[in-house]
Chains A and B, each alone.
Chain A
């Protein structure tokens, strides 16, 4: 087991290198350079000397492979460098101040999705073609098909403008510092309600469908029949025997969505003016802020690889067949 994990970990290193190299290349291929963007590409002020100065400052005048090697030697020492944006703050600091919000938002979202999607999926599967199944199917597909930004705007109009119950955007009210402790908590939660609702609505569809599908397959298996034949009650058949098996694919999907936790949702964050990772990344791309883009990419890529690994390992923990399969494979 440990050896398997180690081997997978080692294999991840060249993969990570490849990912960073290709990303580095692609980003630099995109037209427009930070130096050009910062000196104003089409303004009368546009000044060749200032541009050259910036290019030297950022090493952009060096060949690409030199730039990449430089970046790589820094990154292995976990030095993510400084942002190219004129505030020139350390990349890690920039990411650090954006990460908590995005993490919080996405973890809550994920929890809500799992908590809702699993029962919906199970109920829909065990009562296949019932009214509940049909209603949730419609509901869930509507959710899947609804564009985030549109739903967000509708909710903002309803709860923010018409009813005035919830704040429209941002994380905290402007007078936050002057509220009592509990009012502060409520203020923060009320700002998060709509973004989480929007983010959940879209994600719910996929998950509950996966759950339903996976459950449907499992309940057709022979061992479920034998469980029933043994005289077990339906809740135990479904809740214990079927669910455990039906959850397997869900774990994989959950694992794969872990990196998404820090990626942040660009649309939700932009529309609700939440200063998270998604916004940081978009702004960095527009400014061609290479160190921030690369820093973000490295973190997301590492997490994706790790998540894959973790998913595989959890998988084998849940399902003994796979554990055995691994052993056999190694022999």
Chain B
């Protein structure tokens, strides 16, 4: 509990400090230290939760699901701030602007952490809306025309989406008030779960529909995904990593919490049918956009939409194996996608282009960057022995175990097509083509080190899953599968 408060206070202090300080060196050091503390706290909390119990407070509730998300956000915070230090050091910007960047970045990390630790459907909604507000300012950080357009789309579409989620949450509250009376209805996740079986079913259908559309918009589920490729491709590289790895995972978290409640009252045909529709559409719809996609960051953004679809398929499975795969996949995707965005940011800086066709012969021009990008891509499309392969496998097995063969086969086919498209693109960049851009600078050793470490984590999680982590994932899967 104390660690929780420490983490919140550290993040608040670092963000407030960054806003006022004028010494660039000190800014980098302080923010890096804050990130180390945040990551350390989240690691310890995850360990404590895996050991036995849950962390409880008046408004705070951390069980295994929150702990996994917290772990992912902790890793992203540390790597994201480290890469940001490198990124800002080489940007020619006034110190004040860099301070504002850190101010927003720390608030962004804080808002994501609040989403996963708050014990209340309403407060979680508030925290998710806060992530939109802060991250929109980070997307427009460079104030270019494209980023303004992306941010406008992002705020308007996500605000509409989040209004839907609020409508759903109000109806949920109404259902709870009807079920247990106004005095005891508090929208706590725990009390909701207890009261769920006596909700009025028709009201629950309506509430679930609105909540699914709302948080689905924020998570980037098709067909509400149109803001995602723009926002994720226009943001600065470290921010893209946090958006793709962390932000959409927190929206999925809110969805998961709600599904745990609604599946106690709704017919399986209704909630599973809706989820199947949205997740399969997300996986399939990206294929034409990924085919011949010439913008590297947009390619990765579309891949995020696909992975969100895979994660929500894990919810559809509604059994232990699928739930285990899903929560594992959230963690894997957060780490893997952020690595790819860090590397992409570095490639864009080195070659001064983000067009896939202009980037050639990475293996011979800059072998380290080339190999890391290749391995990262191989991991995200699901090549063993990286852990992403296993989490995808568990989800598909879980679907088949639940008798959903058609869904599993369609998903598998789409994943195979995306596998080919992404590997083709990365092979072209790494060893194909002639000419292309010259290197304008050398890649930063810090970013290469961060990427190597994170890929190693994925490799280790694929080969030998550490015992506490396995326990954590096991507990989370039990909570989700019921």
Specify whether A and B are partners: no
Interface residues of B (CB under 8 A from A): none
Residues of A at the B interface (CB closer than 8 Å) are: none
